[in-house]
Amino acid sequence: MFALPEINLKGKVSDEEWQLRVDLAACYRLAHYYGWDDTIYTHISARLPGKDEYLVNAFGLTFDEITASNLVKVNLQGEILDDSPFEINPAGFTIHSAIHEVRHDAQCVIHLHTNETIVVSSLEGGLKPISQHAMFPLSNIAYHGYEGLAVNAEEKARLQADLGNAHTLMLPNHGALTLGPSIGEAFMRWADLQRACEIQVMALSTSQPLIAIDQQILNTVKEQQNKVHTGSTGGQKSWPAMRRLAYRIDPSFTE
Protein backbone atom coordinates (compact mmCIF):
# COMPACT_ATOMS: atom_id res chain seq x y z
CA MET A 1 0.00 0.00 0.00
CA PHE A 2 2.82 2.39 0.84
CA ALA A 3 5.52 1.02 -1.47
CA LEU A 4 6.86 3.20 -4.27
CA PRO A 5 6.90 1.88 -7.85
CA GLU A 6 10.12 0.01 -8.52
CA ILE A 7 12.18 1.87 -11.10
CA ASN A 8 15.76 1.09 -12.09
CA LEU A 9 17.30 3.10 -14.90
CA LYS A 10 20.91 2.09 -14.32
CA GLY A 11 22.30 0.82 -17.60
CA LYS A 12 19.26 2.15 -19.47
CA VAL A 13 20.47 5.75 -19.82
CA SER A 14 23.86 7.13 -20.84
CA ASP A 15 26.69 7.12 -18.31
CA GLU A 16 26.63 10.93 -18.36
CA GLU A 17 22.92 11.06 -17.54
CA TRP A 18 23.27 8.41 -14.84
CA GLN A 19 26.01 10.36 -13.06
CA LEU A 20 23.89 13.49 -13.22
CA ARG A 21 20.98 11.54 -11.74
CA VAL A 22 23.13 10.25 -8.88
CA ASP A 23 24.47 13.72 -8.11
CA LEU A 24 21.02 15.29 -8.19
CA ALA A 25 19.55 12.56 -5.97
CA ALA A 26 22.41 13.16 -3.52
CA CYS A 27 21.56 16.87 -3.50
CA TYR A 28 17.97 16.06 -2.54
CA ARG A 29 19.08 13.72 0.24
CA LEU A 30 21.45 16.36 1.62
CA ALA A 31 18.72 19.00 1.57
CA HIS A 32 16.60 16.61 3.64
CA TYR A 33 19.51 15.88 5.99
CA TYR A 34 20.06 19.58 6.66
CA GLY A 35 16.35 20.23 7.15
CA TRP A 36 15.98 22.43 4.09
CA ASP A 37 13.04 20.56 2.54
CA ASP A 38 9.34 21.46 2.77
CA THR A 39 7.51 18.12 2.70
CA ILE A 40 6.99 17.53 -1.06
CA TYR A 41 6.72 21.13 -2.21
CA THR A 42 10.15 22.35 -3.26
CA HIS A 43 12.39 21.30 -6.10
CA ILE A 44 15.93 21.03 -7.42
CA SER A 45 16.61 20.55 -11.12
CA ALA A 46 19.60 19.64 -13.26
CA ARG A 47 19.83 20.32 -16.97
CA LEU A 48 21.06 17.55 -19.25
CA PRO A 49 24.20 18.83 -21.03
CA GLY A 50 23.51 20.19 -24.49
CA LYS A 51 19.76 19.58 -24.29
CA ASP A 52 16.61 21.54 -23.50
CA GLU A 53 15.75 18.84 -20.98
CA TYR A 54 16.17 18.63 -17.25
CA LEU A 55 15.72 16.25 -14.34
CA VAL A 56 13.51 17.11 -11.38
CA ASN A 57 11.84 15.37 -8.44
CA ALA A 58 8.66 13.37 -8.83
CA PHE A 59 5.73 15.29 -7.33
CA GLY A 60 4.52 13.43 -4.25
CA LEU A 61 7.85 12.09 -3.01
CA THR A 62 9.68 13.42 0.01
CA PHE A 63 13.31 14.36 -0.50
CA ASP A 64 14.56 11.29 1.38
CA GLU A 65 12.69 9.09 -1.14
CA ILE A 66 14.43 10.56 -4.18
CA THR A 67 16.69 8.18 -6.08
CA ALA A 68 18.67 8.45 -9.28
CA SER A 69 16.07 6.32 -11.05
CA ASN A 70 12.85 8.02 -9.90
CA LEU A 71 13.90 11.51 -10.97
CA VAL A 72 11.68 12.67 -13.84
CA LYS A 73 13.05 13.90 -17.18
CA VAL A 74 11.07 16.73 -18.77
CA ASN A 75 11.51 19.24 -21.57
CA LEU A 76 10.97 22.99 -21.43
CA GLN A 77 7.33 22.50 -22.42
CA GLY A 78 6.71 20.35 -19.35
CA GLU A 79 6.38 17.09 -21.26
CA ILE A 80 7.62 14.01 -19.38
CA LEU A 81 10.19 12.31 -21.60
CA ASP A 82 10.77 9.03 -19.81
CA ASP A 83 8.39 6.25 -18.85
CA SER A 84 7.83 7.65 -15.37
CA PRO A 85 4.71 6.79 -13.34
CA PHE A 86 5.04 10.18 -11.62
CA GLU A 87 3.99 13.74 -12.39
CA ILE A 88 5.91 16.96 -11.73
CA ASN A 89 5.00 19.94 -9.55
CA PRO A 90 3.29 22.61 -11.76
CA ALA A 91 4.87 25.46 -9.78
CA GLY A 92 8.23 23.75 -10.05
CA PHE A 93 7.83 23.57 -13.81
CA THR A 94 7.09 27.29 -14.06
CA ILE A 95 10.18 28.27 -12.08
CA HIS A 96 12.70 25.76 -13.41
CA SER A 97 11.65 25.87 -17.05
CA ALA A 98 11.81 29.67 -16.96
CA ILE A 99 15.39 29.60 -15.72
CA HIS A 100 16.68 26.75 -17.89
CA GLU A 101 15.12 28.47 -20.89
CA VAL A 102 17.38 31.53 -20.59
CA ARG A 103 20.31 30.55 -18.36
CA HIS A 104 22.26 27.95 -20.28
CA ASP A 105 25.17 28.57 -17.92
CA ALA A 106 23.14 27.10 -15.05
CA GLN A 107 23.15 23.33 -14.99
CA CYS A 108 21.50 23.21 -11.57
CA VAL A 109 18.74 25.29 -9.96
CA ILE A 110 17.95 24.87 -6.26
CA HIS A 111 14.65 26.33 -5.05
CA LEU A 112 13.71 25.87 -1.39
CA HIS A 113 11.40 27.38 1.24
CA THR A 114 13.45 27.46 4.41
CA ASN A 115 12.20 29.56 7.31
CA GLU A 116 15.31 31.71 7.31
CA THR A 117 15.29 32.52 3.58
CA ILE A 118 11.59 33.38 3.76
CA VAL A 119 12.21 35.71 6.70
CA VAL A 120 15.24 37.46 5.23
CA SER A 121 13.75 37.79 1.75
CA SER A 122 10.70 39.42 3.34
CA LEU A 123 12.63 42.06 5.29
CA GLU A 124 13.06 45.52 3.85
CA GLY A 125 16.55 45.57 2.38
CA GLY A 126 16.70 41.77 2.29
CA LEU A 127 20.05 40.11 2.91
CA LYS A 128 22.51 42.30 4.83
CA PRO A 129 26.35 42.26 4.71
CA ILE A 130 26.84 41.21 8.32
CA SER A 131 28.64 37.87 7.90
CA GLN A 132 31.30 36.32 5.74
CA HIS A 133 28.73 33.80 4.51
CA ALA A 134 26.61 36.68 3.20
CA MET A 135 29.47 37.92 1.04
CA PHE A 136 29.05 35.10 -1.47
CA PRO A 137 25.35 35.57 -2.35
CA LEU A 138 25.63 39.36 -2.07
CA SER A 139 28.24 39.43 -4.81
CA ASN A 140 25.58 38.48 -7.36
CA ILE A 141 22.03 38.68 -6.01
CA ALA A 142 18.61 39.67 -7.36
CA TYR A 143 15.01 39.84 -6.09
CA HIS A 144 11.69 38.76 -7.63
CA GLY A 145 8.49 39.93 -5.97
CA TYR A 146 5.77 37.53 -4.85
CA GLU A 147 2.99 36.89 -7.39
CA GLY A 148 1.17 34.04 -5.67
CA LEU A 149 1.65 30.34 -6.41
CA ALA A 150 4.00 30.05 -9.37
CA VAL A 151 1.57 28.41 -11.78
CA ASN A 152 1.01 31.37 -14.12
CA ALA A 153 3.04 31.06 -17.32
CA GLU A 154 3.01 34.85 -17.65
CA GLU A 155 5.20 35.12 -14.55
CA LYS A 156 8.07 33.37 -16.31
CA ALA A 157 9.14 36.43 -18.30
CA ARG A 158 9.15 38.62 -15.20
CA LEU A 159 11.12 36.04 -13.24
CA GLN A 160 13.67 35.80 -16.06
CA ALA A 161 14.02 39.58 -16.24
CA ASP A 162 14.45 39.93 -12.47
CA LEU A 163 16.98 37.11 -12.32
CA GLY A 164 19.15 38.51 -15.10
CA ASN A 165 22.68 37.14 -14.72
CA ALA A 166 22.50 36.65 -10.94
CA HIS A 167 23.30 33.31 -9.31
CA THR A 168 21.12 33.98 -6.24
CA LEU A 169 17.47 35.05 -6.41
CA MET A 170 15.58 36.07 -3.29
CA LEU A 171 11.84 35.48 -3.44
CA PRO A 172 10.14 37.72 -0.85
CA ASN A 173 7.41 35.96 1.15
CA HIS A 174 8.38 32.72 -0.57
CA GLY A 175 12.01 31.56 -0.22
CA ALA A 176 14.98 31.72 -2.54
CA LEU A 177 16.90 29.94 -5.25
CA THR A 178 20.51 29.48 -6.30
CA LEU A 179 22.03 28.56 -9.66
CA GLY A 180 25.31 26.94 -10.55
CA PRO A 181 27.21 25.56 -13.54
CA SER A 182 27.27 22.25 -11.64
CA ILE A 183 25.19 20.64 -8.91
CA GLY A 184 28.07 21.06 -6.49
CA GLU A 185 28.42 24.80 -7.07
CA ALA A 186 24.65 25.39 -6.83
CA PHE A 187 24.67 23.40 -3.57
CA MET A 188 27.51 25.42 -2.08
CA ARG A 189 25.81 28.66 -3.06
CA TRP A 190 22.65 27.51 -1.30
CA ALA A 191 24.67 26.45 1.77
CA ASP A 192 26.21 29.94 1.98
CA LEU A 193 22.86 31.67 1.48
CA GLN A 194 21.13 29.52 4.06
CA ARG A 195 23.86 30.09 6.64
CA ALA A 196 23.88 33.84 5.94
CA CYS A 197 20.12 34.01 6.50
CA GLU A 198 20.34 31.97 9.69
CA ILE A 199 23.02 34.31 11.02
CA GLN A 200 21.01 37.41 10.08
CA VAL A 201 17.87 36.12 11.83
CA MET A 202 19.91 35.29 14.94
CA ALA A 203 21.69 38.66 14.89
CA LEU A 204 18.46 40.61 14.55
CA SER A 205 16.97 38.68 17.47
CA THR A 206 19.56 40.25 19.79
CA SER A 207 18.18 43.76 19.08
CA GLN A 208 21.77 45.01 19.28
CA PRO A 209 23.46 47.28 16.70
CA LEU A 210 25.12 45.28 13.94
CA ILE A 211 28.52 45.86 12.35
CA ALA A 212 28.09 45.83 8.57
CA ILE A 213 30.91 44.82 6.26
CA ASP A 214 32.24 47.79 4.31
CA GLN A 215 31.04 48.13 0.72
CA GLN A 216 34.63 48.32 -0.52
CA ILE A 217 35.30 44.88 0.90
CA LEU A 218 32.06 43.56 -0.57
CA ASN A 219 33.17 44.82 -3.98
CA THR A 220 36.26 42.61 -3.83
CA VAL A 221 34.43 39.43 -2.90
CA LYS A 222 33.20 38.63 -6.39
CA GLU A 223 36.81 38.16 -7.51
CA GLN A 224 37.82 36.45 -4.28
CA GLN A 225 35.02 33.91 -4.38
CA ASN A 226 36.32 32.60 -7.69
CA LYS A 227 39.14 31.14 -5.58
CA VAL A 228 36.82 29.63 -2.99
CA HIS A 229 33.54 28.32 -4.41
CA THR A 230 34.14 27.74 -8.10
CA GLY A 231 36.30 25.46 -10.19
CA SER A 232 38.82 23.11 -8.63
CA THR A 233 38.74 24.86 -5.24
CA GLY A 234 34.94 25.13 -5.02
CA GLY A 235 32.22 22.75 -6.08
CA GLN A 236 34.73 20.30 -7.50
CA LYS A 237 36.38 19.98 -4.07
CA SER A 238 33.39 20.27 -1.79
CA TRP A 239 30.84 18.28 -3.76
CA PRO A 240 32.62 14.89 -3.61
CA ALA A 241 32.78 15.31 0.17
CA MET A 242 29.07 16.16 0.29
CA ARG A 243 28.25 13.18 -1.92
CA ARG A 244 30.23 10.90 0.40
CA LEU A 245 28.22 12.29 3.32
CA ALA A 246 24.97 11.50 1.49
CA TYR A 247 26.23 7.96 0.89
CA ARG A 248 27.09 7.47 4.55
CA ILE A 249 23.63 8.67 5.57
CA ASP A 250 21.77 6.37 3.16
CA PRO A 251 23.25 4.94 -0.07
CA SER A 252 19.83 4.15 -1.56
CA PHE A 253 19.90 7.42 -3.55
CA THR A 254 22.28 5.72 -5.98
CA GLU A 255 19.65 3.19 -7.06
Q: Has residue 197 been placed in a domain?
A: yes
pLDDT of the residue at 85: 86
pLDDT at position 87 over 80: yes
pLDDT of the residue at 119: 98
pLDDT of the residue at 232: 55
Count of domains observed in the chain: 1
Contact between 234 and 185 (Cβ < 8 Å): yes
pLDDT of the residue at 217: 85
Query: What CATH number should be reported for the domain holding residue 103?
Result: 3.40.225.10
pLDDT at position 143 over 80: yes
pLDDT at position 204 over 80: yes
Q: Has residue 67 been placed in a domain?
A: yes
pLDDT of the residue at 83: 83
**Domain ranges, residue 132:** 15-239
pLDDT of the residue at 41: 92
Average per-residue pLDDT in the chain?
Answer: 91
Q: Has residue 54 been placed in a domain?
A: yes
